[in-house]
Chain A
Amino acid sequence: MNYRRILILCFLMGGFAINAAAQDLVKGKQLYETRCLVCHQADGGGVPNMNAPLDGASNVVGTDIARLVRIIKKGYSERVALDGFYYGNAMTANPDLKDVDIANILSYIRTSWTNKASTITAAQVKAAGSKK
């Protein structure tokens, strides 16, 4: 095997990976704008006392992906303290979203505004979803 070929292949694959990730975020943003923005706002800041912020939220950038997947699929209205504050509104469920859609949305909200967490793959969403 020719090393140069491998190198080129690596470059190509790397390029694809970056490309794929970029596309996911664009789709994630679109879904965010049609389904989430009304409550969580363009800046991810939410509405005080009403809709939780996603920007800077420890759970959103955290490691419990199963919980995030569940919230998006089933909606959320538990009124527990989130980073010390309570929110009164009831979040809409999204039972029609596919794993890949949820992965895109999660990737978008985990890497937008001041959030700098990892992106999420559809496989991760699937695994998280089956955990329950």
Chain B
Amino acid sequence: MKNLKIFLAIVFSTMTIVSTAQNNAGLKLPQGFKATLFADTIGSARHIAITSNGVVFAKLMYPNKAGKSIIRLEDKNNDGVADKISGWGKYGGTGIFVKGKSLYATSNTGVFLYQLNDNDEVIDTSAPKTIVKGLIDRNQHESKSITLDGQGNIYVNIGAYSNACQEKDRMPGSKGMMPCPILDSAGGIWKFDGQKENQVYGDGIRYATGLRNVVGLDWNRQTNSLFVTQHGRDQLNSFYPKLYTADQNAELPAETMYEMKQGDNAGWPYVYYDPYQKKKIVSPEYGGDGIKEGGENAIDPTAFFPAHMAPNALLFYTGNQFPEKYKNGAFIAFHGSWNRAPLPQEGYFVAFVPFKNGKPNGEWEIFANGFSGLTGDEKVKNPRNAKARPCGLAQGPDGSLYVSDDNKGAIFKISYAK
């Protein structure tokens, strides 16, 4: 009898595990939300974009096994799973953006523009217009993320090819360069015309600076301004063990979100943001001691998050499908940390920051979790064991939220079922 009970308990518990996995593609979501595995193993899917007809485009970091680097996905029978998938392109990259019938995609050095037809198929995959070219790519922070404003201007992140602008990058004891010469051509957001062909640095403007590496950015239509999420610096403790313990290193500096107006400076490499002191602290490469404040000319973050979680996508929700609290709030895809050892890794989830009148309104929260494939509250210890790593976000025409993964190449579709 007792055995039977145990047996039944096991049967039921496995049944619920299986069914939640099937219903929500393995994700943990707030009450009332459901998810489907829209696509799987398409390649290292970085950012995604969705047309007004619901066609999804994904930019791959490297060409996939079939040699394609931009993937088009369509869900013809509308069951939450892509059933028509094709691809083209040979260049790896991160950025992709759709505006009407214009599809923008980035390599690590430029921006290309494809024209879509009425069915949102690319008219000529072999002949995109080159919109921007010649941007710096020195391996580190090489990906170019993009977004457009309402005026047809394109904003391109050009990450700094450095951790903290040392004379010798990541060399213990090497000093920070003053002024940091990297900022002339990287470490910020550049603004270009969205239609003009063959633009180079000189044709655009450095819209905002002092950003080590931005992967997530979005134009907020309510405030009519640009918001970005920055990847903070790392290795404070490996280079300055006298100033920072390993545990402090795991929690410093904060990952940050900024509203960037033209000419704004977020302070990298001279300062970093300390989430405990809630201050901009002078980097040790520039004479800081972990306490000294700096960055008088730099702006403060709009919101901040635990260190090293790698905010890889930012999306302001403008749909009508999700409950009211999500309207105009920010979703952030946290790729997941790798440099918090000896502490467990963090991130590997999609977070939500409620907004009101263009400002954060309350604490951030985890919206979708479980991408790593680990059960319960188990944390990722070794990044290679994480099944999926959230990297891109896009909103479908019906208000569903799509999340891409650049590890195995999954796309999740999250909807609210009233």
User: Which residues, 367 to 413 on B, are CB-close (under 8 Å) to A?
Assistant: 381-385, 389, 406-407
A: residues with CB less than 8 A from B are 34-35, 37-39, 41-43, 45-51, 53, 75, 77, 79, 86, 88-93, 95-96
B163, B168, B172, most chain A CB atoms within 10 A: B172
Report if A75-B341 is in contact (Cβ < 8 Å); known contacts: A41-B384, A86-B62.
no
* In contact, B382 and A92 (Cβ under 8 angstroms): no
Q: Whole-angstrom distance from the CB of B300 to the nearest CB of chain A? A: 28
* In contact, B140 and A89 (Cβ under 8 angstroms): yes
B: residues with CB less than 8 A from A are 44, 61-62, 139-142, 163, 168-172, 234-235, 238, 338-339, 341, 381-385, 389, 406-407
* In contact, A77 and B341 (Cβ under 8 angstroms): no
Q: Whole-angstrom distance from the CB of A130 to the nearest CB of chain B? A: 23
B contact residues around A89 at 8 Å (CB) = 140
Q: Whole-angstrom distance from the CB of B177 to the nearest CB of chain A? A: 16
Closest chain A residue to B239, Cβ basis: A92
Report if A41-B341 is in contact (Cβ < 8 Å); known contacts: A49-B406, A93-B170.
yes
Q: Whole-angstrom distance from the CB of B108 to the nearest CB of chain A? A: 10
Query: Measured between alpha carbons, how far is A34 from B246 in the docked complex, in Å?
Result: 10
* In contact, A35 and B384 (Cβ under 8 angstroms): no
Q: Which of B44, B62, B168, B382 contacts A42, CB < 8 Å?
A: B382
Closest chain B residue to A37, Cβ basis: B341
Closest chain B residue to A35, Cβ basis: B238
* In contact, A42 and B341 (Cβ under 8 angstroms): yes
* In contact, A77 and B406 (Cβ under 8 angstroms): no
Chain A binding surface, main DSSP class:
loop
A contact residues around B44 at 8 Å (CB) = 49
Report if A88-B140 is in contact (Cβ < 8 Å); known contacts: A35-B238, A47-B383.
yes
Q: Which of A35, A50, A53, A92 contacts B171, CB < 8 Å?
A: A92
Report if A48-B384 is in contact (Cβ < 8 Å); known contacts: A38-B238, A77-B140.
yes
Closest chain A residue to B249, Cβ basis: A38
Query: Measured between alpha carbons, how far is A89 from B142 in the docked complex, in Å?
Result: 10
B contact residues around A93 at 8 Å (CB) = 168, 170-171
Closest chain A residue to B171, Cβ basis: A93
* In contact, B140 and A92 (Cβ under 8 angstroms): no
Query: Measured between alpha carbons, how far is A70 from B406 in the docked complex, in Å?
Result: 31
Report if A45-B140 is in contact (Cβ < 8 Å); known contacts: A38-B341, A92-B170, A92-B172.
no
Query: Measured between alpha carbons, how far is A79 from B161 in the docked complex, in Å?
Result: 13
A contact residues around B385 at 8 Å (CB) = 43, 45
Q: Which of B235, B238, B384 contacts A53, CB < 8 Å?
A: B384
* In contact, B338 and A45 (Cβ under 8 angstroms): no
Query: Measured between alpha carbons, how far is A61 from B104 in the docked complex, in Å?
Result: 43
* In contact, B170 and A88 (Cβ under 8 angstroms): no
Further contacts, 8 of them, CB under 8 A, given A34-B238, A75-B170: A38-B339, A39-B338, A42-B382, A45-B385, A49-B44, A90-B139, A90-B169, A92-B235
